[in-house]
A and B are shown apart, each in its own frame.
Chain A
């Protein structure tokens, strides 16, 4: 391709200076961008207002397309339910019979548990839900795993509130706009979740890997005690996430922990419930002493 015409401005001084000025502006622009980047590295929430503006502007389109997407998914689901319906029905009826007695026992246990708690006078802080919304988009091209929620401050959504879907924990709110909020998914590397194994309450920590999986490490380091298929639930430690929210299933054992696949798939969750922080008051007192994100790891 031939060189662009502006490269040789001829003998005109004005044109030569004009060309020179564009280079000056370009380099000045690079420096400005570097300064903006430095500010956002030092204070990651600094430009949240701008980002909120961006998601507010594009949210209507995303909402409409998301609704269309969800209804097409429902159609394909309904159609596929007809395939092999008779044998599925038989299998499901068998399963239902088997589960019915387990369900009755679970109900009895629940009742007994409530009575015992009443005897011990344990006041359980209710995990009240703040609002129900939908995930309408995600940062699919960035290494960060952040999703946009269709509700915001207008519905009482605030920073550091946990978000869960029907299948399990989704993440926590990190930025809010008037009608949208941004949710840090559990698969983001920055999101640490205190969890435990459902079968025996083995305490562990989960951190995202950024590729849709989470790394689960037991608190007592050593040989990995996990088995493939173990169910991981939240433990309620730290006071942010309520206990016993389904979290992930172990799909591979590593030398000192396990890889888990979260139950809640952001692409497939029909709705997302924003909840009040579990043990909110205790957490507020703790945050007053040592806020999240300000205590940094000491470099060795």
Chain B
């Protein structure tokens, strides 16, 4: 026997001043928007009035992207390197498509590593991130050199070192954002 919809009554309960502490739903908007917004904002850091003599500012967009990927596997779809990379290209000054390609490749590399080294600890994640940061910075230098005259690659060393050392900080920021994201 089917029950007509109109006959379903929600259980009535006395009105409360406060929200229930049990069985609360996470906000879908927060769960999606926080990682996306954090990565885009991190890419936009280069548009702040920061002037450096050489390439010194770490690529915060890439650091944020790698932290989310390594800290929460399965959160970012495997194709997400393309949209976030292209977004980064808008602000970084690199030839358009350079980060789109490099981040996509980084994503595929992490996916391959995920299928081989399944149980990893934090130090191994840091090592993977460090190698990817070096590869992406060198790749960006090479692509910039294809389109324009490029300086010597040695000027990237300080930026590489700074980025690798800043990765743990970005992971911690990510972890804080993640607990806020999943909070009910």
Q: Which residues of A contact B (CB under 8 A)?
A: 1-7, 22-23, 25-30, 32-41, 44, 46-47, 50-51, 53-55, 58-59, 61-62, 65-66, 69, 135-148, 187-190, 207-213, 265-267
Contacts and interface: CB of A to CB of B under 8 A. Distances in A.
Contacts of A266: 51
Given A34-B101, A37-B95, A140 B149 contact: no
Contacts of B55: 140-143, 210
Nearest to A266: B51
A138 B93 CA distance: 9
Contacts of A148: 47
Interface in B70-129: 73-74, 77-79, 81-82, 85-86, 90-98, 100-101, 104-105, 107-108, 111, 114-115, 118-120, 125
A93 B16 CA distance: 78
Contacts of A267: 51-52
Interface in B29-62: 44-60
B49 A136 contact: yes
A1 B96 contact: no
A286 B17 CA distance: 78
Interface residues of B, number: 63
Contacts of B148: 44, 144, 188-190
Contacts of B100: 29, 32-33, 36-37
Contacts of B82: 26, 29-30, 32-33
A256 B144 CA distance: 27
B92 A141 contact: yes
Contacts of B77: 22, 25-26
18 contacts: A2-B118, A3-B114, A7-B115, A22-B78, A27-B108, A30-B82, A37-B98, A40-B147, A44-B95, A47-B96, A51-B90, A51-B93, A55-B91, A58-B44, A143-B141, A144-B144, A145-B54, A188-B148
Interface of B: 44-60, 73-74, 77-79, 81-82, 85-86, 90-98, 100-101, 104-105, 107-108, 111, 114-115, 118-120, 125, 140-141, 143-152, 155-156, 159
A143 B98 contact: no
Interface majority SS (helix, strand, loop, mixed), chain B? helix
Contacts of A40: 95-98, 147
Contact of B47 (A33, A55, A207): A55
A148 B85 CA distance: 21
A33 B106 CA distance: 13
Contacts of A29: 79, 81-82, 100, 104
Given A62-B47, A66-B49, A138-B52, A144 B118 contact: no
A40 B119 CA distance: 40
Given A190-B148, A211-B155, A140 B50 contact: yes
Contact of A58 (B47, B115, B146, B156): B47
Nearest to B74: A4
A3 B73 contact: yes
Contacts of A34: 97, 101
A140 B148 CA distance: 17
A145 B155 CA distance: 12
Given A26-B104, A40-B97, A69 B49 contact: yes
Given A5-B74, A138-B52, A210 B94 contact: no
Contacts of A7: 114-115
A1 to B, nearest CB: 6
A228 to B, nearest CB: 19
A211 B97 contact: no
Contacts of B108: 26-27, 30
A211 B53 contact: yes
A41 B46 contact: no
A6 B57 CA distance: 35
Contacts of B120: 1
Contacts of B57: 140-141
Given A26-B107, A36-B100, A212-B54, A189 B79 contact: no
Given A26-B111, A142-B92, A210-B152, 8 more contacts: A5-B74, A37-B97, A41-B146, A44-B95, A142-B93, A211-B54, A211-B155, A212-B54
